[in-house]
Structure 1
Amino acid sequence: MTKHFKTAITTSLCLLAAHPFSSALTFTVPSQVGTGDYFYAPLDPAPIGISFEFFAFPSYFTNVTATQQCLANWKALTGVWPPIRIGGTTQDRAQYDSNTSAYVVYSVADAKDAPSVLTFGPKFMTLAGMYEGSVVIGLNRGKNEIENTIAAAKVAVSEVKNLLAIELGNEPEYWVKDGQPITSGVDWTPATDAASQNNWNIQVGSAVGKTNIIQAGNWNEAPPKWGAAQLITTENATVESYVRHYAHHNYPGGSIQSLMSHSAIARNIHTFDTDIAAARAIGKQYVFGETNSVSGGGAAGVSPTFGAGLWTMDYALRATYSNMSRTYFHHGTVGNCQYCFWGRYSMGAPYYGAYAAVALMAGASHLTALDSGSTNYAAYATFDSRGLPLRVILYNSDYFAGSGTRTTQSFTLTGLTSSTVRAKRLTAASATSRVDQGSPPSFGGQQFDNGSCAMSGTETFETKPVSGGQATFSVKATEALLVYLQ
């Protein structure tokens, strides 16, 4: 997928880290969607959502107080409840039991463990149906018991009023090592999995009497070996009629510094360009059905940090700019989830980054990147329903670990039409700052309270004069600034 940008850089990008201030980078804000040498991505009403591990979903909604408020905070910005996906590794360990009155039934030696075997009943789907946003439900394909999966799918269709799609299997490329029965006696390859997916899509879709109902794909290994482009080549028109959209999982990993690097984020997202284009070519959406910073629940030294929060912000925006319709950030075992936005630490620093990204895109019709994705500095602009510029976010991904000089990058925006603009700053003491260690971030001077996820503090805007259609903003290393143009 080719992406266009127009950036006027007034100084060299070879900036010396020892210098506390760097000369301004200049970005021109388009006056209207469709103008200039830019690519404009259409926006879903709520492009950022949450994925809940299958067995843990009931606990998040019945035992974790912050869940409803954290989701409501985004709804207050967008007017739409964020999308959720219920699935993960345990969806392929879960079998439907119509006779159980429990949400889920399982046993573990330690509360921090995920179950190896579990059952769930109709009440599970009833709970999912109470959510007011769109819901994707992941069901079991690995055990190769299609009638049980069809029974669960029928309950999902009847109980989940906002059901967007059904997944049939989670990360099938790992099923051989997991000992899943569907791979027994079979040379399990992308082609074998594709044949299985196509068959199950038709059988489940026809059994529930719905086309446009399947979220296909759901691999974690990077394309092209496992990916939508190769799957689509195996599908006929009947299979395609049952597919609503295609999904991939992604956990970039790395250190805080490598994770939050803007250029590294752009490179990572480009991995999926061919798959996104293949889905769009047949009129289907493409989503990150499950993603977060580091796989396996996150890394303790990386995932709960403010640097990971800035990654969350930039990553969600770059994915959206690349025509990824929705990005679902995964939440695993309650109390044992380093990358969770809430639940383990009550509040995690990544929630702040997600909130800032939601605030940029809220109520917008389109998004574009004003930068090339090749440096440490990002600028994204959103546009309202009239196609007029709405907001810009500026991101300085230079790494600051808390000691020494914290450098500052200047950003100049041109093409502005008002006499002043306001801005909110997303900041923390350093990239390594963590809420659970007493160093929470702030966004516009506000924070999210532990336990409740309620916003506290006085909302603070910075005001900048506009002269000759331009204004200059200072953004420190490991910081972002959301500029309101209207």
Structure 2
Amino acid sequence: MPVIPRFIMWGTHLITLVVPIVSAIQVTIPLTAPLGAAPLKGNLVSLSIEQDRWNDWAGMTEPNQFFNNVLDNFIQFTNTPPFVRIGADSEDHTDFSYDVEYEEDIFPPPSTIRPYPEATNITVGQGFYDIISHLPNGTEVHWGLNLREYNLTATYLETVALMNAFSSPAVVEKHIDLKFIEIGNEADLYHHNGGRNSSYNVHGYVSEWEKFAHNVSMTANLSQLSCTKLIGAAFAESSHNNLSGFSPQAIFNLGILESPAGQLINTISQHHYSGSFCTGGGAVLQDLMTKSYIRGNLSVFIPDIKATLANGLDYILGETNSFSCHGAPNVSNTAGAALWLLDYTLYATQIGISRLHFHEGIGYKYNLIQPLALNYSILDGSPIAPLAPHIQPAYYAAIIAAEAIGSSGATEAVEISIDENNISGYAFYEYSRLSKAVFINTIAYLSGAGARNSTHIDFSFTDFGNTPNNMCVKTLKIGYASDTSNLTWGGQTYETSDGRVSGPLIVDVLPIGSGVDLQDTEAILVTFL
């Protein structure tokens, strides 16, 4: 029950004691994985990297050690590196030249909305592809090729260089695999961004894609037995929002899967942002974090997902993040966005999305990772003292998801039914037995808000089996939802010069019967003992 504020008299002045409100809920969790529980892979949270500065992420003459460290942190929990997609808008502005060693870029001037804009022209050489060898052992890669410029020769040269890199001893020895080739980024927007004229439609796209994909598959010597497959769609919008007629259903109906190259599609990718900052303004942190907003943003993809799964294909968000045009200042780069990312990711698994690639670029506001020193503010482009490589708050959400999934290779998850507008919960099962749960409180606690409220959670269990007696509770501690640093996960920080975790681990061991408290703007991981 809510606690009513009390009033006392001190001399002649009335003083209000601000007492936090403590509410209580009971959650019921099955001890065995229910039918339909979502299977989870260790690379559920993966990355999409803007292609124009790939050499900065990977490192040219030697690996980018900071980037490798923060990737390896995930491997410590899951034994699986994050999947890395290299592409996005700049994949459709990339050409190959034998006269270039790594990369030569032409950038537009920066703006307050995009302090670090994408390159409008990228010319790359063989070295640009070869540095894929700098990634951690076992990394799986999804690489984008240029369709927008409609230049078969350029796409052919890119494909040759790509396959040369992945067949090199340095890459083969590290078991770094090219799992997907993507031909064209967000072709449904070509008629908006000057890539095609206003009459361009999904019929024209399928015809073009089949032509280019056939060329790429022949050049790369792909077959049904190949490790490397082709990505389907890579569209910017769901069929619900896409007024231009582009959708997975549309390309299926046009026979893309029956074409020679289309038979190499085993995964459909779509892209999604929860809002836009392309014209500035309009971003509110609490809106992004709200449970109903997260579910509404993702549920529009359900028809696309069902159609994809009905064709025996996998479904991913190959590019996603909070607000398009690199994020909204003081929203996308905050602790509140970490809670958004955690709930967004885990809810996505419940509707059939098997992997999410969170988009990253040098200096983008919504990055999980800033992999090299920055000389200009990510918020408005103003000059700053050099800011060393670092992680941003959303990185903690990816770490929590990785720890919840673990390394068994047999983890499933279900959403826990919680009739609260701002509390989300997910149960995790290993080999069908309950192992962990994540709870997220998405009420934005902000400076000046007064007392910080909390929700007490009590547990009950269904099904036959050994009911847990105790639990370990690990907490994502956040000062305010608007904070951009100083978060801790189990008392530890990843905000270090090398990206490695630091500090003593703090975990509460409690009897199940005591329940657990969850503050506003907080997440916890419960491990059942």
Q: When the two structures are superposed, what TM-score results if normalisation uses the length of structure 2?
A: 0.81
Give the whole-Å Cα distance in 2 for the aligned partners of 1:52 and 1:373.
37
Give the whole-Å Cα distance in 2 for the aligned partners of 1:201 and 1:33.
41
Do the aligned partners of residues 223 and 22 (structure 1) sit closer, same or farther apart at CA in structure 2, a change above 3 Å counting? Answer: farther
* Native 8 Å contact 1:445 1:457 kept in 2: yes
Matched with 1:54 is: 51
Do the aligned partners of residues 192 and 20 (structure 1) sit closer, same or farther apart at CA in structure 2, a change above 3 Å counting? Answer: farther
* Native 8 Å contact 1:423 1:461 kept in 2: yes
Do the aligned partners of residues 138 and 309 (structure 1) sit closer, same or farther apart at CA in structure 2, a change above 3 Å counting? Answer: same
- Select the residue among 169, 186, 209 that pairs with 1:197: 209
1:447 correspondence with 2:462: no
Q: Which amino acid aligns with 1:340?
A: N
- Select the residue among 467, 472, 475 that pairs with 1:417: 467
Q: Which amino acid aligns with 1:42?
A: P
- Give the count of matched residue pairs: 454
Do the aligned partners of residues 447 and 236 (structure 1) sit closer, same or farther apart at CA in structure 2, a change above 3 Å counting? Answer: closer
Q: After superposition, where does 1:94-109 map in structure 2 within 5 Å?
A: 94-101=94-101, 103-108=102-107
1:215 correspondence with 2:231: yes
Give the whole-Å Cα distance in 1 for the aligned partners of 2:293 and 2:108.
39
- Select the residue among 435, 439, 444 that pairs with 1:394: 439
Matched with 2:8 is: none
Give the whole-Å Cα distance in 2 for the aligned partners of 1:303 and 1:340.
8
- Residue 93 of structure 1: CA displacement? 0.6
Give the whole-Å Cα distance in 2 for the aligned partners of 1:211 and 1:366.
32
Q: Which amino acid aligns with 2:406?
A: A
Q: After superposition, where does 1:255-270 map in structure 2 within 5 Å?
A: 255-270=284-299
- Select the residue among 233, 238, 242 that pairs with 2:253: 233
* Native 8 Å contact 1:305 1:350 kept in 2: yes
Q: Which amino acid aligns with 1:395?
A: I
Q: Which amino acid aligns with 1:424?
A: K
Do the aligned partners of residues 236 and 373 (structure 1) sit closer, same or farther apart at CA in structure 2, a change above 3 Å counting? Answer: farther
The DSSP-based 3-state class of the residue aligned with 1:381 is: strand
Matched with 2:185 is: 170
Give the whole-Å Cα distance in 2 for the aligned partners of 1:431 and 1:379.
19
- Residue 19 of structure 1: CA displacement? 7.8
1:126 correspondence with 2:130: yes
Do the aligned partners of residues 231 and 25 (structure 1) sit closer, same or farther apart at CA in structure 2, a change above 3 Å counting? Answer: farther
- Residue 420 of structure 1: CA displacement? 1.1
- Select the residue among 114, 120, 125 that pairs with 1:116: 120
Matched with 2:364 is: 337
* Native 8 Å contact 1:66 1:342 kept in 2: no
* Native 8 Å contact 1:376 1:396 kept in 2: yes
Do the aligned partners of residues 130 and 162 (structure 1) sit closer, same or farther apart at CA in structure 2, a change above 3 Å counting? Answer: farther
The DSSP-based 3-state class of the residue aligned with 2:30 is: coil
Across the aligned residues of Structure 1 and Structure 2, the Cα RMSD in angstroms comes to: 2.3
Give the whole-Å Cα distance in 2 for the aligned partners of 1:68 and 1:151.
29
The answer for unaligned runs of 5 or more in structure 2 is 3-17, 111-115, 167-175, 276-282, 375-386
- Structure 1 residues 180-226: Cα deviation after superposition (integer angstroms, max 9, x where no partner): 2xx25x71123322332233333322332214611121122332333
Q: Quick check: 79-88 or 340-349, which moved more?
A: 340-349
Q: Quick check: 409-418 or 113-122, which moved more?
A: 409-418
Richer in strand (by share): 2
Q: Which amino acid aligns with 1:200?
A: F
Q: Which amino acid aligns with 1:105?
A: E
Do the aligned partners of residues 232 and 412 (structure 1) sit closer, same or farther apart at CA in structure 2, a change above 3 Å counting? Answer: farther
- Structure 1 residues 84-135: Cα deviation after superposition (integer angstroms, max 9, x where no partner): 000111111101223422x211244668343211111111211124423100
Matched with 1:318 is: 347
Do the aligned partners of residues 348 and 199 (structure 1) sit closer, same or farther apart at CA in structure 2, a change above 3 Å counting? Answer: same
Q: Which amino acid aligns with 2:504?
A: T
* Native 8 Å contact 1:247 1:286 kept in 2: yes
Matched with 1:4 is: none
- Residue 321 of structure 1: CA displacement? 2.3
Query: Looking at CA atoms only, which structure, 1 or 2, has the larger radius of gyration?
Result: 2
Q: Which amino acid aligns with 2:233?
A: G
1:243 correspondence with 2:268: no
- Structure 1 residues 297-345: Cα deviation after superposition (integer angstroms, max 9, x where no partner): 111121110001111111111112222111111111x2x3111122156
- Structure 1 residues 397-430: Cα deviation after superposition (integer angstroms, max 9, x where no partner): 1221122121101222222723211011012111
- Residue 273 of structure 1: CA displacement? 0.9
The DSSP-based 3-state class of the residue aligned with 2:274 is: coil
1:476 correspondence with 2:519: yes
* Native 8 Å contact 1:125 1:159 kept in 2: yes
Matched with 1:351 is: 395
- Give percent identity, aligned residues only: 23
The DSSP-based 3-state class of the residue aligned with 2:327 is: coil
Q: Which amino acid aligns with 2:209?
A: Q
Give the whole-Å Cα distance in 2 for the aligned partners of 1:164 and 1:223.
26
Give the whole-Å Cα distance in 1 for the aligned partners of 2:285 and 2:41.
29
Q: Which amino acid aligns with 2:528?
A: L
Q: When the two structures are superposed, what TM-score results if normalisation uses the length of structure 1?
A: 0.88
Q: After superposition, where does 1:375-394 map in structure 2 within 5 Å?
A: 375-384=421-430, 386-394=431-439
* Native 8 Å contact 1:153 1:166 kept in 2: no
The DSSP-based 3-state class of the residue aligned with 1:154 is: helix
Matched with 1:466 is: 512
Do the aligned partners of residues 122 and 485 (structure 1) sit closer, same or farther apart at CA in structure 2, a change above 3 Å counting? Answer: same
Q: Which amino acid aligns with 2:34?
A: G
